[in-house]
Amino acid sequence: MSKKYIQAIKGMNDILPIQTPLWQHIEEKIRHVLEAYSYQEIRLPLLEKTELFSRAIGEVTDIVEKEMFTFLDRPDKHGKADSLTLRPEGTVGCVRAGIEQGLFYNQIRRLWYMGPMFRHENPQKGRYRQFYQIGAEVYGLSGPDIDAEIILMTARFWQHLGINDLELQINSLGTASTRATYREHLVKYFSDHHSELDADSQRRLHKNPLRILDSKNPEIQALIEAAPQLLDYLDEESQAHFTGLKQLLDHIGITYQVNPRLVRGLDYYNRTVFEWVTKSLGSQGTVCAGGRYDSLVEQQGGHSTPAIGFAMGIERLALLLSQNVPDNTPHIYLIMVGEKTITQGFSLAESLRDALPKLRLLTHCGGGSFKSQFKRADKSGALMALILGEDEIAKQQVTLKYLREKKPQISLAQTEIVEYLSPFFSN
């Protein structure tokens, strides 16, 4: 059958009404925790200049090499067109905004954002081309205490969402000079095993060998396991920073695994990196990931500003929580039979919404017989129907019918309805 309608773009999903209650639930819980730690929201453009991402994330990374949605803007009056990119992540835009708006200099900022990101990946469960992230970034603090705060806050997300199968992995990437020394040893090791590397890794060997450690190809995992470890090359200060973080986590009772092969897929990280991982989503197991990026603000043209942040994918959280979709069916369906009942029915509905803010009241629109309206009431999933017909109007009453329980219908004076319903819907 030929499809006449235009379909959505591959990897870009509609989040349907059946899914949105869960998404709203996740967003609300996380927003609540962010507020409890006094983080402030920032809202940023979806489009930025391409150069911003290629410079910050690194030319030889999956994102910049093959995952960005990039296109030319319309030319200006001189015929010059900028290359623009749909943001693949949130940190770089946040850094750009902070520098441009003067948010960082001599200040401490704890920020968070939420919204869609775009990466041209191979779509599969938990991996899409448009996906949603909630992330947080802290600027102006360089010690391990803020690293611990960030990790504690993420742990509290899982606690509030009721997710308990996530494992925390941490590592330290040291400084740029630690990595330079380590890089030489790593290149030597992988060069000695050149024929065992896949094509991607062979290409990366001299351009960006640390990225090989981030490879998801199962065939080279054993080779990666046996590679020299960055932790053995750490400078003293980074070592002390990492020890400080581990001590804080130990003290507060957060369990973690040190994963010496955790390097993260972006170039701007240094020192602390971490991921929260689940075994239940296959190779899409990283739910939340982050780390320190102390040189990015300066590299992008700002004053030197230490920074740390993380981002998590809402789709992956929704997959983990798909068994606990919150109920958003209406509580009450208001049936109005006969034209004269509509004005009174609407007033009644508004007064119920005023008096009972927790009530989900669905008002019938579109007329029709009692029978057809009653069918709709039943289909809506509502617990009760309120019925307003000409009889009821004459007596200033309303009929209440329980739709899910075997209870007799009752007649209530319109003045009594709120009192009758409030025990059900007041909290």
Query: Where on the chain is the footprint of ligand ATP (CB under 6 A)?
Result: 89, 119, 121, 126-128, 131, 133, 265, 284, 286-289, 311-313, 315-316
* CA dist., res. 19 & res. 23, Å (int): 7
Closest distance of CB 2 from ligand ATP, Å: 30
DSSP element (H, E) containing 110: strand 109-118
- Name which of 58 and 345 has its Cβ closer to ligand ATP: 58
Quick one: 173 or 289, whose CB is closer to ligand ATP? 289
Min CB(119)–ligand ATP separation in Å = 5
- Cα–Cα distance for residue pair 340/413, rounded to 1 Å: 18
> Cα(97)–Cα(303) distance, rounded to whole angstroms?
13
Q: Using an 8 Å Cβ cutoff, are 134 and 27 in contact?
A: yes
Q: What is the DSSP letter of 38?
A: T
Closest separation between CB of residue 325 and ligand ATP, Å?
A: 19
Q: Mapping DSSP to helix (H, G, I), strand (E, B) and coil, where does residue 188 land?
A: helix
Outline where DSSP puts E strands in 328-383.
332-336, 361-363
Q: For the stretch 76-91, what's the b/e string if a residue is b when 16 or more beta carbons lie within 10 angstroms of its beta carbon?
A: eeeeeeeeebbbbbbb
- What does the block give as tokens for 365? 């629109």
> Which residue, 127 or 331, has its beta carbon nearer to ligand ATP?
127
Taking the least distance from each CB to ligand ATP, the nearer of 190 and 276 is 276
**Which residue lies nearer to ligand ATP by CB, 315 or 392?**
315
Select 89 or 392, whichever has its Cβ closest to ligand ATP.
89
For residue 265, the minimal CB distance to ligand ATP (Å) is: 4
Task: Tell me how far apart the alpha carbons of residues 242 and 225 are, in angstroms, rounded to a whole number.
Answer: 22
- In degrees rounded to 5, what are phi and psi of residue 365? -125, 150
The one-letter code for the residue type at 159 is: Q
Residue least distant from ligand ATP (Cβ): 313
Q: Which is nearer to ligand ATP, 131 or 374 (CB)?
A: 131
Q: Minimum distance between the CB of residue 302 and ligand ATP, rounded to whole angstroms?
A: 22
Q: Which is nearer to ligand ATP, 48 or 315 (CB)?
A: 315
What's the min distance (Å) between Cβ of 79 and ligand ATP? 35
8 A C-beta contact, residue 63 and residue 57: yes
Nearest approach, Cβ of 135 to ligand ATP (angstroms)?
Answer: 8
Expressed in angstroms, the distance from the first to the final Cα of the chain is: 51
Rounded to the nearest whole angstrom, what is the least distance from the CB of residue 172 to ligand ATP in the complex? 17
Nearest to 320 by CA among 17, 29, 88: 29
Q: Which residues face 411 on adjacent strands? A: 399
